[in-house]
Structure 1
C-alpha cells in the first residue's frame, strides 16, 4: 500500500515519541511495550492516555510496573465496546434460540392435534354408539383446549421475544455507531472517514458529479501539548472537532483523521466552494480564545492549516488524499493559519528541495 509523505512523517514522529518514552524509562522496546507507547503518542485512545497521564512521574517517565499494568488493562482484555457488542450478540442469539424452541413446541402440539383429528375421523366412519360419541367429543374438546393454550403461550412468548429483540437491536445499533466515532472528540473516526470517502467516490464516478476533500492540521499542537499538558491538548482537539463539524452542513462529513489532523468530505462541492468552507472553518477556529478550565488562564488562540483538493474521476482515493495532504503541507510551509487549494500558485509551483 502506498503511503503519503504526510502519513509517513506523522507515523515517524509517533514512533520516535514512543521509543523516547521507553528509553527514558529504561524499558526494553518489545513489540507490546512499543504498541502501548505508540498508541499513547498518536492520541487515538482517550482512556489509555488519561490512564498513562495519571501514572507519569515528575520526570514524565513511566515505570515497568505501570507499563505492564496499563498494557494488561487495555490490550490483554477486550475493550468495553467490544464486550458490549459480544454481550448483545450473545443475548440476541439466546433470544432467537428461545423463539425457535417455542416454535418447535408449537409445531409438535399442532402435529399431535392433527393426529387426534385424523383418529377421530376414522372412528366416526365406523359404527359409533352414543356413549362412544360422547367420549370422542370430550377427547376432541380436551385436545382443542390444549391447542388453544399452546397457541396462547406461543403468542405471548413471541410478543415478549419481539420486544426483547427490538431492544437488543437498538443496543447493537448504538454500539455499532460508537465504533464509528472518535472517543475523544465524538466526531467520526478514521474508519468512518474511509468508508464514507469510498462511498462518495463511487457515487461521484457513477453520477459524474464531483466532490472535495479538506485536510486540516492544528498548528504547533505538539508545542501546545508540551507547554500546557495533555488534558488541555485534549480540550483543543475537542474544540477544533466541534468547530469543524458545526461549520459543515447537509451530507458533508467531518472526521478525526489521526492525532491532531482532521478531514472533511464535501459532496457536490467544487474547489471554489471548498475554499469558502475551509476559510469559514479557519476563521471560526481562530476566533475562539482558549481558557484553561482549572485556572481560567487565557492560553491564547489556536489556528489550523487547511489543504483542499477536488476529486478527479480517473484517480484513486490515495491520490486524492495525497494531493489534499500536499496542499496542507504547503499551507504549513507558507506560514500556517491559512488555506491552500490545489489551484493555488503556491501549490503548483515546483517544490524547493
Structure 2
C-alpha cells in the first residue's frame, strides 16, 4: 500500500468518525463543528479530548453552547497569533542577520574603494598612455564602488525601518494575545487562560516522581450576587465583581493565577501549594472581601458588605484538571449550604458530612465545557 493510499484511508476514517459524532450529538455540520470532531477523532489535541471526555462523563451529550466554548478554548483562530508570533520573531531575526551582512559588505566595499584610490594615485605617477588608461579605469571602478556603497546603505536603512515596523507589529500582537486571555470587566485571567494554567500545573505535578508534588485550586462564589443585580442593577453588580477581583489580585502572588471562572464565580490555581497553604490564602481572600464597603457610585449610598463562599481542593496523583475543579466546586457548594461566607476544604468535617450524604446531588457541576452557574 502506498503512503498516499494509507493517508487516504486513515483520514477518511477520521472523517467518518467526525460525521458520526455530529449525528450522535445532532450538531449542525458547520465547518467549525466538523473540525472540532475531526480533531477529536485524530487524538492529536489531548487537551481537547480530555475536556470532551470529561464533559461527556457529566451528561449524555454536548450542547451547541458547549461546542462553541470548546472550540474557542482549544481550536480558536486566536491561537493563530501564537504561530504568527513565532514566525514574526524569526522574520525579525532574519532581517537583523541580513542587515549585519549588508553592513559587513559595505565595510568590504569601503576597503575596496580605498584600495582603488591608492591604485589611482600610483597610476598618476606613471608616464604616457599607460598611466592615462590606468587612471581612467581606476576612476570607473571607484565610481561603481561608491555607487554600490550608497545602494547598500540605502538598503540598510530600508531594512532597519522594516525591522522597527516588525517589532511594533510584534508588540501589538502581544497586546492582542494578552487581551484574548483576559476578562475585560475584572482584568483577571479568563477561562481559557485558567485552563492553560491548570494544564501546566498538572504537567508539572505529574512529572515529579516524589510525593512533594502538589498544587491546589480555589473556587470562589459571590454570596447572593443575584440580589445585588436585582436590587441595584447590573452596574452595581459589575462593581461587586470588580471589588472581589481586586481582593483576589491583592492576595495572590508569584505563579499563582486568579481567573474569572464565569458569572460570579472565580478560580485560583496555586502551584506548589498544599491544602493548608491554600486554606490560608482562601481565608485571607474571604476576610479581604468582607472588609470592603460597597458604595453605590451614582448616589453614594452604602449597600453593605459583600461576602464569598470558597471551596478548596488539592491535587491528588491520578487527578485530571476537571476532577480537582469538581472537588473544589463541591466544597464551595457545602460552604453555601452551611451558611455562606465560609471556606470549606475537602478535609473539613462539614464536607464529609454533607457531600458524603449525597445532598449535593442537585448541585450543578462546574466544568470547562459548560457555562458556569
TM-score w.r.t. the length of structure 1 is: 0.65
Instruction: Mark the runs of 5 or more structure 1 residues left unpaired by the alignment.
Output: 9-14, 16-30, 40-81, 121-127
Distance of aligned partners of 1:335 and 1:245 in 2 relative to their CA distance in 1, 3 Å threshold: same
1:329 aligns with 2:330: no
Partner of 1:191: 192
Residue 268 (structure 1) aligns with = 272
What is residue 239 of structure 1 aligned with on the other side? 243
Work out which of the residue numbers 353, 358, 365 in structure 2 matches 1:351.
Answer: 358
Alignment correspondent of 1:173: 174
The equivalent residue for 1:162 is 163
1:296 to 278, 300, 308: 300
Hey, what's the Cα distance between the residues in 2 that align with 1:286 and 1:139?
A: 85
What secondary structure sits across from 1:227 in the alignment? Answer: helix
> Match for residue 339 of structure 1?
343
Tell me the CA shift for residue 131 of structure 1: 3.8
Selected match of 1:222 from 223, 226, 248: 226
**CA distance, structure 2, for counterparts of residue 162 and residue 205 of structure 1:** 42
Alignment of 1:58-73 (within 5 A): none
Q: Distance in 2 between matches of 1:4 and 1:292?
A: 43
> Distance in 2 between the 1:250 and 1:133 partners?
73
Change (3 A) 1:325 1:260: same
Alpha-carbon shift at residue 157 of structure 1 (Å):
1.8
Alpha carbons 1:4, 1:322 under 8 Å: kept: no
Matched with 1:28 is none
Partner secondary structure for residue 326 of structure 1: helix
Q: CA deviation at 1:4?
A: 9.8
- How far the C-alpha of 1:130 sits from its partner, in A, is 3.7
For 2:133 and 2:162, locate their aligned partners in 1 and report how far apart those are by CA, in whole Å: 43
Distance 1:227 1:4, change over 3 A: farther
Q: Secondary structure at the match of 2:237?
A: helix
Deviation (angstroms), 1:180? 1.3
Residue 279 of structure 1 aligns to a residue whose secondary structure is helix
- Tell me the secondary structure at the aligned position of residue 197 of structure 1: helix
Counterpart contact for 1:254–1:263, Cα < 8 Å: yes
Could you list the runs of 5+ residues in structure 2 that have no partner in the other structure? 1-51, 70-77, 117-128, 362-373
Structure 1 residue 345: deviation in Å? 1.6
Q: Name the count of aligned residue pairs.
A: 262
| 1:160 shift after superposition | 2.2
SS at match of 1:296: coil
Cα distance, 1:271–1:281 mapped onto 2, change above 3 Å: same
Give CA-to-partner distance per residue, 1:14-44, whole Å, 9 cap, x none. Answer: x9xxxxxxxxxxxxxxx9xx99xx99xxxxx
| Cα pair 1:331 1:340 within 8 Å, conserved | yes
CA shift, 1:150, in A, is 1.5
Do the aligned partners of 1:275 and 1:339 also contact (CA within 8 Å) in 2?
A: yes
Q: Report the CA distance shift for 1:193/1:235 in structure 2 as closer, same or farther (over 3 A).
A: same
Q: Distance in 1 between matches of 2:306 and 2:216?
A: 25
- The TM-score, its normalising length taken from structure 2, stands at 0.62
CA distance in 2, matches of 1:4, 1:348: 26
User: Cα distance, 1:346 vs. partner?
Assistant: 1.8
Partner Cα distance (1:151, 1:342) in 2: 70
RMSD of aligned Cα (Å): 3.7
Q: Secondary structure at the match of 1:305?
A: strand
